[in-house]
A and B are shown apart, each in its own frame.
Chain A
Amino acid sequence: MQDEPDAELLRRFAHGDRDAFETLFRQFEREVYRWILRIVREPGAAEDALVEAFWRAYRGRARFDPSRSFGAWMRRIATHCAIDQLNAARRRNWKQLDDTHLEPVGQVPSRSESGRDGPSVLEIADHIRRALASLPPKLRVVATLALIEELPHAEIADALGVPLGTVKSRLFRATRHLRAKLTRLGTQT
């Protein structure tokens, strides 16, 4: 994580100093963007979430305790903005994510039908992406950070602002859901 800004800068930010806020934005923008991108995995959505995250930080500046880590506070806000982005995307695409629109891999035109030997790697990858996207965003975030990014559970819990047990139970539910969905789709490793 980024070096912590000096206490005076944080104090000025908490009192609404716009220059201090811009300095903090310039210092943390890249790290926050990367973090959000790891969750939403789409640059346009990550930019929108980043703007939203810094706006929320500015709006909630009075609640920030300058004696605590700005980076950790910002990461938590960014995580919730990323979840909101996933929720918005899910509402937009709910029809595409509906199971009825997913054909089992066995029914996807196979290589043998089209002169090939079975579903292509791209077809299987597409099913896996859809299976993950079909998870409720709170579960999807945990699954993405734990299974794809392989972050420690404690770090995920800190970023979400939830107890470690909540992360474990969400991961369990997400894994069970993914497994069931991928099995139903006939996706094999």
Chain B
Amino acid sequence: MTDDQLKEVLHRAFAPPEHEGRADDLWTRVAARCDEPPRWSYVDLGLVAAVGTVLALFPDWIWVLAYSL
């Protein structure tokens, strides 16, 4: 299958998306989202847990943390 054939196959399978017809005003959703308090992601929670664990095991490292902050 050549590149042109692949393009043709894809064009046949995918109609252009319908752009019009969205009636909802999404500003209210955006504004509500901006007013939400910040959410903690799993990465944030993992990082806090890792730092906490390290400090529990090696309390002296608090100075390393303090220095890097």
A contact residues vs B (CB 8 Å cutoff):
18, 21-22, 25-26, 29, 33-34, 37-38, 41, 43, 47, 50-52, 54-55, 58-59, 121, 124-125, 128-129, 132, 143, 147-148, 150, 175, 178-179, 182-183, 187, 189
Contacts and interface: CB of A to CB of B under 8 A. Distances in A.
Interface string B19-35: 10110101101110110
A38 B24 contact: no
Classify chain B's interface size.
20 to 34
B34 A22 contact: no
B14 interface: yes
B27 A22 contact: yes
A182 B30 contact: no
B29 A51 contact: yes
Given A178-B6, A179-B1, A189-B8, 20 more contacts: A21-B34, A22-B27, A25-B27, A26-B27, A33-B22, A41-B14, A43-B17, A43-B18, A43-B21, A47-B22, A47-B26, A52-B33, A124-B13, A128-B10, A128-B12, A129-B14, A148-B14, A189-B1, A189-B5, A189-B9
Contact of B7 (A43, A47, A147): A147
Majority SS of interface residues in chain B? Answer: helix
Nearest to A132: B10
A170 to B, nearest CB: 15
Given A178-B6, A179-B1, A179-B6, A47 B24 contact: yes
Nearest to B8: A189
A125 B13 contact: yes
A29 B26 contact: yes
